[in-house]
Amino acid sequence: MTQKLERVLQLQLLLLLPSQLALHFWPSWSLINGIRVDYLSPTLYLTDILIILLWLFNSPLHLPSLKLREGKGVSYFRFGLVIFITLNILFSFSPLLTIYKWFRVLEYFWLFKYLTKKNLALSTWPLALSVIWTSALAWWQFFLQHSVGGLWWWLGERPLSVAAPLIAKVSFAGQLVMRSYATFPHPNALAGFLLVAALLLYRRVPWATALAFLTIPITFSRTAIVLEIGILLIWISLKIKNLKLKIATSAALLLSTLYFLLSITGSPVSFLDRQSLNHLPISTIQQFPFLGVGLGNFLPATGLLQPVHNIYLLLASELGIPAVAVIGYWLMVHGKKLLSTMNYELITAITVIAITGAADHYWVTLHQPALLLVVLLAIIKVKSMNHEL
């Protein structure tokens, strides 16, 4: 009975990865100049509750095998990590905020270990269903040009309207068009989620991949669309044997994409503002090179209302250069292992995150993309271990 309940929780977690249904709390340190900032708000998501329940099912009394294997190297690393986290908290702009953010990291780390041990990350059909309902909602919003409401609220759909301020819009074909959000905080995050999920599902549930690829354009996320087209061009070059057909298909895809992108008029000022803000994290890194301003503290340290759109600059400013160097080294080591598996879907998925991370911050600041990143890393870990065997 216990195993069945746990299995239900596992499937629900993967099925509800895109959900942003949550309870927000607003302590004083989640405000900047009196303005509530979502990125700073301690938040209890529906998916958090599912993860907590899974943890209760797998407490040390029930599943001691989830403990890390001990060794001198592991012990030294743990000790150094504890020292670093302690200093990162003590010298942060807002220690309480930093503590909350490190608890988030602990939650993601536990989930990574759990998915790896259980091989749960390899269960593709719940993720496929999550792509289906997310894509369906995105298209529904696109045709209505406002939120659907009703039961979708319980999955985290926020109030949306093409006429509302602060909602992402573009001018397309002479009309003002609302970009689809589904249940994500921003269309760019939806596009990144769908693109990575599509790659994970390509071999086992290809029709879910096709649906995700069809949905990405209505997010009007230029970075995701360009990456999607690049992936499709590679697929065409590998799958279509007839040279004339290959050239014709590629040319048609490129021309239609170029026309689509040139037909979109967004906010060039917004893009320029994003690029101009890059000097702020660089200045922050120069002032706090060793420990950073504290995990999650970029906004309080700079007075901005949203993070810099570059995860590398963001992490370096919050954690310091040495910590980012360690993370980079870890990624290089495991990147070599991933390359040895010759699993091109996973390699492409990580590449997508690396590229989109240079243009946006959602992989490390928003809950749903972060959960998908954890799932992806767990899949890579399992595949790497199986390859070594």
85 shares a domain with 70 = yes
260 shares a domain with 133 = yes
pLDDT at residue 59 in the model:
72
Q: Which of 7-11, 17-21, 370-374 has the lowest mean pLDDT?
A: 7-11
262 shares a domain with 279 = no
b (16+ CB within 10 A) / e for 286-305: eebeebbbbbbbbbbbbebe
pLDDT at residue 360 in the model:
95
Q: What is the mean pLDDT of the chain?
A: 91
182: pLDDT strictly greater than 70? yes
Q: What is the mean pLDDT of residues 200-220?
A: 97
Measure the CA–CA gap between 330 and 322, rounded to whole angstroms: 12
Q: Which of 86-100, 233-247, 257-271 has the lowest mean pLDDT?
A: 257-271
Number of H helices, E strands in the chain: 17, 7
Angle CA(81)–CA(83)–CA(89) in degrees, nearest 5? 100
2 shares a domain with 96 = yes
pLDDT digit string, tens, across residues 50-105: 999 999 988 764 444 445 455 666 678 889 999 999 999 999 999 999 999 999 99
Q: Say what percent of the chain tops pLDDT 70.
A: 92
Q: What is the mean pLDDT of residues 264-289?
A: 78
Q: Residue 23's beta-bridge partner residues?
A: 44
**Residue 186 domain boundaries:** 124-266
DSSP state of 182: T
pLDDT digit string, tens, across residues 285-303: 999 999 999 999 999 999 9
Q: Measuring CA to CA, which residue among 81, 99, 79 is closest to residue 89?
A: 99
Q: Measuring CA to CA, which residue among 37, 208, 33, 56 is closest to residue 133?
A: 208
Question: How many CA atoms, within 13 angstroms, populate the side-chain half-sphere of residue 186?
Answer: 16
State residue 173 phi and psi, 5-degree precision.
Answer: 55, 40
| Band of pLDDT at residue 37, cut at 50, 70 and 90 | very high
Q: How far is CA 208 from the centre of its chain?
A: 19
pLDDT digit string, tens, across residues 10-29: 999 999 999 999 999 999 99
Q: How far is CA 180 from the centre of its chain?
A: 17
327: pLDDT strictly greater than 60? yes
pTM for this entry: 0.93
237 shares a domain with 201 = yes
Residue that finishes a domain, picked among 233, 266, 299:
266
376 shares a domain with 308 = yes
Which contiguous run of DSSP H or E holds residue 250? helix 243-262
DSSP state of 162: T
Residue 334 CB-density burial (10 A; 0-12 exposed, 13-18 middle, 19+ buried): middle
Sign of CA dihedral 340, 342, 344, 346: negative
Measure the CA–CA gap between 382 and 79, rounded to whole angstroms: 26
Residue that finishes a domain, picked among 214, 242, 266:
266
133 shares a domain with 246 = yes
259 shares a domain with 159 = yes
pLDDT at residue 269 in the model:
46
pLDDT at residue 144 in the model:
98
2: pLDDT strictly greater than 60? yes
Who has greater pLDDT, 123 or 163?
163
281 shares a domain with 259 = no
DSSP state of 35: E
Within 10 Å of residue 375's Cβ, how many Cβ atoms?
Answer: 24
Instruction: Give Cα separations from 153 to 109, 148, 184, 378 (angstroms).
Output: 29, 8, 12, 30
Q: With contact defined as beta carbons under 8 Å apart, do 302 and 280 qualify?
A: yes
208 shares a domain with 83 = no
pLDDT at residue 173 in the model:
82
137 shares a domain with 232 = yes
pLDDT at residue 49 in the model:
98
279 shares a domain with 260 = no
Residue that finishes a domain, picked among 266, 286, 311:
266
Q: Measuring CA to CA, which residue among 294, 323, 300 is closest to residue 89?
A: 294
Q: Residue 360's beta-bridge partner residues?
A: none
Measure the CA–CA gap between 15 and 21, rounded to whole angstroms: 13
Residue 128 CB-density burial (10 A; 0-12 exposed, 13-18 middle, 19+ buried): buried
Residue type at position 81: L
Structure token pair of residue 125: 């059909």
Measure the CA–CA gap between 313 and 47, rounded to whole angstroms: 28
Measure the CA–CA gap between 174 and 361, rounded to whole angstroms: 30
Q: What is the mean pLDDT of residues 239-263?
A: 95
Number of folded domains that form the chain: 2
